[in-house]
Structure 1
């Protein structure tokens, strides 16, 4: 019987027993201190559970202010400097050949000529009445002079009668008769003066009739109020025009206007006289002019302000109603380029951005939109350098501590 394998098995069993069940005694026998491990285990078993971090995690992007040319960008259209519908002021038949639309006309050029009818006869009659009224004035003036002479004679007789009565040489009845004669003479003067006033009024009435007849004759010739182009044919030969009927439409395209509407957030940056440029949608040509008008009242629906720009158009290449992208020069400003999705509103409804400061506390800054681009929007109102929240800004408010994570460039 072999004794060595049995002894080896017994020795292995003892070693395993000591290593597993009597490990502290074994470690103490070899001089190792197992109290630390035991204390460590005890400490781990009795230590309180860690506090959960409730701070919101957000993604931030660092932006730095840049100086930009803050031109105001609008989308508008071209408009004729002047456009008018020339209409008839009297009723008559057209006797002139029509001018075709597109024709260039000069100021004062005849567009429609109407039949005079009996208007010349009415003019002759008015002149005759005026001459008759004027002939009555000398007669009325003579009557006034005659009445004034009678009044002077009556006053002399009245004076003489009064003196004779004082001397006892005239009776009371004679004095009374003299007074009555003076009163009658004064009435005659008043009547003569009334006749003179009536004669002069007749002249004025006759003169008004002459001027009315002359104006009626002038209405028969309808002229262009300014130089431009005909936008429609003039009235056809033989057609009857009533008062208010259209003769033709005239437009002036030199200079031409660019019309656009400025948002209320940018209207204070647009000044009359500022240089402005535009690119027309048709042909892509560029034009330049100056701002001539900025409305003081906004459109009640869109809250935007009408702006007009005058542009030279000597060759009439720009048409009325073309779409145009307008840029109006404005003073430069320091602004930040930020993602449009980062914009948010605070409790008061103000537009702005939420920013994380150096202490990881959220702050809110109101901003003003300067320009919109494909890469984001340019805004003002932020510090020179700022860490704006681009993800999670809707879940935090001002004064909250957050855990910021920088946004990668590739994002």
Structure 2
């Protein structure tokens, strides 16, 4: 199956800022090789360090409130237990006629007040825990903001553009650098719908580049399940090793994809002929 296509980088990404700050790192020049995790742009932290310290102080303060809240809960529970004992005694005395209804009502009111105090203390403890969670969220938020100050390469590749210049202001979404990966490289072509069934995943393919008439080889790694609505062709991708990075992104290529063969006889072109009706025939020797 013969198709025309072009080479495409295996990966290509625009590394952009997620926050606003001034670049404080020297630029890397386009064409440089970078590894995953290499720093591309370093941004000025400004007051972010102070904001993180403040968030950590608030977290420590929130944590210090928990023991006090726990002590209040324990105290309220003890008072509730005490009032329950007194209520039980008042009820037994009342049953024997040794206590007045006023004393019993007072004991019941004390129990209700103790229960309310316990509920209040438990709410205070829950509020203390919520304060810790909110403070920890603030610490995580400030740390994430600090992490955004360092823009790194997501994978090994080449810089297709200079990184942002020292002293330039990057806003959220501003470009730091363009990184591409050329090893392996992909060949992308479009197969007509009449021949797409002849192409299979893993099939061997060869291509001739327009530049230098160079031949390369690879295997089919992707066949589109949906056709282009305009051309009714299906996209096919072929992965080709490119360790020396000599194949560039966007080169035109003529691709030949191997498909299932059929039995046939090899005939020279000189043995074929047409009769007066235009029917194809073969010249034979009558021995």
- Structure 2 length normalisation: TM-score? 0.92
Of 73, 77, 96, which aligns to 1:144? 73
1:77 partner SS:
strand
- Measured at CA, do residues 285 and 180 of structure 1 come closer, stay the same or move farther in structure 2, by a change above 3 Å? same
Of 2, 9, 14, which aligns to 1:80? 9
Q: 1:324 maps to which residue?
A: 253
1:184 aligns with 2:113: yes
Map Cα deviations across residues 165-188 of structure 1 (whole Å, 9 max, x no partner). Answer: 111111122112111111111111
State the 1:247 CA deviation: 0.2
Counterpart Cα distance in 2 of 1:208 and 1:85: 30
- Measured at CA, do residues 219 and 142 of structure 1 come closer, stay the same or move farther in structure 2, by a change above 3 Å? same
- Measured at CA, do residues 409 and 273 of structure 1 come closer, stay the same or move farther in structure 2, by a change above 3 Å? closer
Of 151, 157, 167, which aligns to 1:228? 157
Counterpart Cα distance in 2 of 1:285 and 1:81: 20
- Measured at CA, do residues 321 and 389 of structure 1 come closer, stay the same or move farther in structure 2, by a change above 3 Å? farther
1:169 aligns with 2:72: no
1:134 aligns with 2:56: no
2:166 partner SS:
coil
- Measured at CA, do residues 103 and 212 of structure 1 come closer, stay the same or move farther in structure 2, by a change above 3 Å? same
Map Cα deviations across residues 372-400 of structure 1 (whole Å, 9 max, x no partner). Answer: xxx8xxxxxxxxxxx99965xxxxxxxxx
Identify the structure with bigger relative contact order (alpha carbons < 8 Å, sequence gap 6+). 2
- Measured at CA, do residues 390 and 139 of structure 1 come closer, stay the same or move farther in structure 2, by a change above 3 Å? farther
- Measured at CA, do residues 140 and 407 of structure 1 come closer, stay the same or move farther in structure 2, by a change above 3 Å? closer
Deviates more, 1:75-84 or 1:146-155: 146-155
Of 160, 170, 174, which aligns to 1:245? 174
Unmatched tracts of structure 1, length 5 or more: 1-71, 338-374, 376-386, 392-405
Counterpart Cα distance in 2 of 1:276 and 1:85: 31
Q: 1:124 maps to which residue?
A: 53
1:259 aligns with 2:259: no
2:185 partner SS:
strand
State the 1:202 CA deviation: 0.7
Q: 1:296 maps to which residue?
A: 225
1:198 partner SS:
helix
Counterpart Cα distance in 2 of 1:388 and 1:230: 62
Of 224, 241, 252, which aligns to 1:312? 241
The alignment yields a C-alpha RMSD, in angstroms, of 2.1
1:208 aligns with 2:137: yes
Map Cα deviations across residues 139-172 of structure 1 (whole Å, 9 max, x no partner). Answer: 1111111111111111111111111111111112
2:181 partner SS:
strand
Of 80, 97, 100, which aligns to 2:29? 100
2:53 partner SS:
helix
State the 1:333 CA deviation: 2.8
State the 1:407 CA deviation: 7.0
Deviates more, 1:218-227 or 1:169-178: 169-178
1:197 partner SS:
helix
- Measured at CA, do residues 408 and 189 of structure 1 come closer, stay the same or move farther in structure 2, by a change above 3 Å? closer
- Measured at CA, do residues 390 and 270 of structure 1 come closer, stay the same or move farther in structure 2, by a change above 3 Å? farther
- Structure 1 length normalisation: TM-score? 0.65
Unmatched tracts of structure 2, length 5 or more: none
Counterpart Cα distance in 2 of 1:146 and 1:276: 80
Map Cα deviations across residues 318-364 of structure 1 (whole Å, 9 max, x no partner). Answer: 00001111111111136899xxxxxxxxxxxxxxxxxxxxxxxxxxx
Counterpart Cα distance in 1 of 2:253 and 2:276: 36
